[in-house]
Structure 1
Amino acid sequence: MGAGASADLSKDQLKEIYADVKHRLYPHQQTAVETLFESSENAAEILECVNTHLNDAEVPNMDYETKPDFTDKHVSLMSKHLTPELFTQLKAAGATSKGYTISRAIQTGVMTPHLGVGITAGDEESWALFKDIYFPIIKGWHQFDPETQSHASDLDASKLTMTDEQVAMFNEFVVSTRIRAARNVSGYALPAGTDDEDRKKVREVLCGAFEKFEGELAGKFYDLGALSDKDRNTLLSNGFLFQIPKTTNLLWHAGAAKNWPTDRGIFHNESKTVLCWVNEEDHCRIISMEDGGNVKSVFTRFAQISEALKTAAEANGTKLMYCDKLGFLGTCPSNLGTGLRASVMIKLPKFNETEESRQVLEQVCDKFDLQPRGSAGEHSAAVEDKFDVSNKQRIGFTEVQLVQKMIDGVTQVISFEKAMAAGEKDLSAVKGEIA
């Protein structure tokens, strides 16, 4: 039940600790725990009950009768925009042909309060059926209004520009560069709304597409369940493989971790500069990566992977989820449009000195539409002063524009880092410049 919880505590003390984890339990689980609090004086029994529910191996398909109550811990755009009236309207809309409902869509945001978005889609139909909640969330996250704007695409790497000074900066500070995007196969439920049959078919479609990859893109698919512990840990430690979902994270509460790891896997070429994750948060996560700061090289390869997957899918009689207004469709509203996340792993020792300096880094990144994360992803520490910095927006700009925004924004971040290291600026000066 968390730090400090033990059978030696009084029932009142356990209640205080329980209040901090209550939001992670489903309503029927809360009822069971709170009934036990009323009927039992045995702290060990109460503690066991809470821990059992917190680690329940079943992911229930919630069906809320009314809008769930949100607490001050809930900070997502979903919790901000979902009113009781809107919930009633969307519940009355029913389910998609794949059976996805508004209760299932908001489940991850209800159970994981710290999320910024807090909602998922279970299939293509979700985006139309529940658009009255998705659209304000998209607008809030991307500063893109689906009612008045349409998506545009451009994968021409020759349009990217970097000055000699920028190239030198990236060579000095950037450890590695990665560009990834979500791609999903039309006609099948997304991972949050899928079943075993659809998941298996998606894997078959994607593996058929991978077989058509040629040249540098050619590689091999590895079934996640067949990987040895050694191989899996090696891939994980090098950042090549997705994490096993825990009972407290987005994938679990979204319903995307059912029957794990069946029909999940990774495709990569020999040099591991081309990777494709299969049936994690989305059907396919395409990734181009390499050491160093050669962004144009990484983006050129990314464009090749994207086009190769599209062409191969169409040759096999399928197509990718896409609509003119929202671009590429996926599980999370944060990955619509281009679905593209261009990131650099960058060393920023001055920005990592204190909690205040890390907060200033977040402010600097926000100024330039960037998103900083720790070395192991969101909410992780910057090990060896390494931060993952990427574009925040995915829609409303073309792929080229987003990568260029990342290049120019990271240039500003590096400039501030260099100035602080040289004693030319302090945190106050940096904050003053971005105010």
Structure 2
Amino acid sequence: MHPVKTQGLREGAFSFPVAQHMNQDWPSACLTRGPCSVPCCLCWMQANLLPPPLPTRPPHAATMPFGNTHNKFKLNYKPEEEYPDLSKHNNHMAKVLTPELYKKLRDKETPSGFTLDDVIQTGVDNPGHPFIMTVGCVAGDEESYQVFKDLFDPIIQDRHGGYKPTDKHKTDLNHENLKGGDDLDPNYVLSSRVRTGRSIKGYTLPPHCSRGERRAVEKLSVEALNSLTGEFKGKYYPLKSMTEQEQQQLIDDHFLFDKPVSPLLLASGMARDWPDARGIWHNDNKSFLVWVNEEDHLRVISMEKGGNMKEVFRRFCVGLQKIEEIFKKAGHPFMWNEHLGYVLTCPSNLGTGLRGGVHVKLAHLSKHPKFEEILTRLRLQKRGTGAARHPLARLGVGGGPLEAAEGEAGHPGEVGWTRATPL
């Protein structure tokens, strides 16, 4: 495992995400179970981290804009002439995409026009790292997972610990089923959070959406969120018209997400037209937060200082269900099916899309010579805590704050994954 740092990272300050699975054989997501096969393709981006560069990476890759893959003249060339050079790549897409499969799928497209080359471009432009296997592909709409299932199914199965095309996903958002989680040691736990993503049916996903679609998603989302009452009553802050005072307050609260800089996001087209139709909504108590039109249509986050994960999860479930009901009544349910669960942009987030985490102080353990080995055995990966993308990134102070995060897109359901005891 290789340490990574971000701009502004204090010495000894780290956080820990855990990759995701869709394996129905895993009970309760115990953190001491076997090591994860791969980290999430977007794990590096949860705090604006960039993977250690490959020596073979083109010098322009770090600033590579969205590639134009819609050149119809490419059909004048044989599939083998258009097949990408994946000889030095380390991602799931490169493992699965053979010349034969490329030939089979390259002429296909979804009803909205998303093609195989659109799916794989981020993985082609970003070879990965020899020790870090990324996913290497994205979906452009709900239909992508069906039209290109010959590519996605093996990737999902490998990425999510053997989750087969015939498996069915379990969703459990009954927070009363969660036992414990309200007594994490306050001497170590600084803050707790749970987050997920949601996609709105009838619209294409961020890698493929048009300006009009993106604005329609924003309008629909703001109307829905502004109708919330009680503990969820709040306000929306559009990025493009945000005042300096509002921006500074969101920075101080560690809520603000900035324009993506990772080549994984840039190459997939998710930063197009930035910051048009992007924004942040949060409740008056600043404990329930929604990002609009970032990596997914919606990124829903529940959080608070301290170690009462049970309360954080209660707020998460109740708020998320309220939002989903509002969208359903408006005729726009979230993308979901019994196999994939909730459909999101990156295959790594399919299912629950859930990630839960706590910031913990481990001042002495982080200096232990076997610290890296401990992380590997617990399926944890250290990450910098200084980035603005992460809503709790800078709450930890002194002694090297860490984030132990577990969250999985699979059969145990939301409650099952949240039962896991971080560290």
Q: TM-score, normalised by structure 2?
A: 0.77
Who is 2:58 aligned against?
A: 22
Partner of 2:135: 117
Give distance in 2, aligned partners of 1:358 and 1:18.
25
Q: 1:171 matched to which residue of 2?
A: 186
CA distance in 1, matches of 2:83, 2:372: 34
Distance 1:383 1:100 in 2: 45
- Superposed, 1:376-415 pairs within 5 Å as 376=386, 384=398, 385-405=400-420, 407=421, 410=422, 413=423
Q: What residue number does 1:296 align with?
A: 310
2: distance between equivalents of 1:219 and 1:392?
26
Instruction: State the partner residue of 2:340.
Output: 326
Matched, 1:69 2:80: no
Alignment of 1:144-293 (within 5 A): 144-162=162-180, 169-229=184-244, 231-236=246-251, 238-246=253-261, 248-293=262-307
In structure 2, the residue corresponding to 1:352 is in which secondary structure?
Answer: helix
CA distance in 2, matches of 1:400, 1:261: 34
Asked if the contact 1:236–1:243 (Cα under 8 Å) also holds between the matched residues in 2, the reply is no
- The CA distance in 1 between the partners of 2:242 and 2:112, in whole Å, is 31
Q: Which has the larger displacement, 137-146 or 202-211?
A: 137-146
Q: C-alpha distance in 2, partners of 1:348/1:83?
A: 45
Name 1:83's counterpart in structure 2. 98
Q: Distance in 1 between matches of 2:302 and 2:118?
A: 32
Gap runs ≥5 in structure 2: 1-52, 75-80
Kindly provide the amino acid, as one letter, of the partner of residue 384 in structure 2: G
Q: Are residues 183 and 167 of structure 1, via their aligned partners in 2, closer, same or farther at CA, if it must alter by over 3 Å?
A: closer
2:67 is aligned to 60
Q: Which has the higher contact order (CA 8 A, sep 6+)?
A: 2
> What are structure 1's unaligned runs of at least 5 residues?
1-16, 26-53, 414-435
User: How far does residue 396 in structure 1 lie from its aligned partner after superposition?
Assistant: 2.2
| Superposition TM-score, scaled by structure 1 size | 0.75
Instruction: Say which SS state the counterpart of residue 192 (structure 1) adopts.
Output: coil
Q: Which has the higher helix share?
A: 1
Q: Secondary structure at the match of 1:254?
A: coil
Find the residue that maps to 2:307 and give its secondary structure: coil
What's 2:375 paired with? 362
Distance 1:144 1:296, change over 3 A: farther
Residues 1:170 and 1:142: Cα distance change in structure 2 (over 3 Å): farther
Partners of 1:177 and 1:298 within 8 A in 2: yes
Deviation track 1:167-208 (CA, whole Å, cap 9, x = no partner) reads 655322111111011011101000011110111111111112
- For residues 314-353 of structure 1, the aligned pairs below 5 Å read 314-353=328-367
Distance 2:114 2:60 in 1: 22
The answer (yes or no) to whether the contact 2:236–2:279 under 8 Å persists in 1 is: yes
Higher Cα Rg: structure 1 or 2?
A: 1
**3-state SS in 2 of match to 1:124:** coil
Question: C-alpha distance in 2, partners of 1:122/1:271?
Answer: 34
Aligned mates of 1:77, 1:18 — CA distance in 2: 17
Task: Note the C-alpha offset of 1:139.
Answer: 1.6
The answer to whether the 8 Å contact 2:182/2:311 transfers is no
**Cα separation, 2, equivalents of 1:284 and 1:21:** 32
| Distance in 1 separating the partners of 2:294 and 2:198 | 11
Contact 2:292 2:299 in 1 (8 A): yes
* Cα distance in structure 2, aligned partners of 1:310 and 1:168: 30
Q: Name the count of aligned residue pairs.
A: 353
User: Residue 197 of structure 2 aligns to a residue in which SS?
Assistant: strand
TM superposition shift of 1:231: 3.4
Query: Is the 8 Å Cα contact of residues 186 and 307 (structure 2) preserved in structure 1?
Result: yes
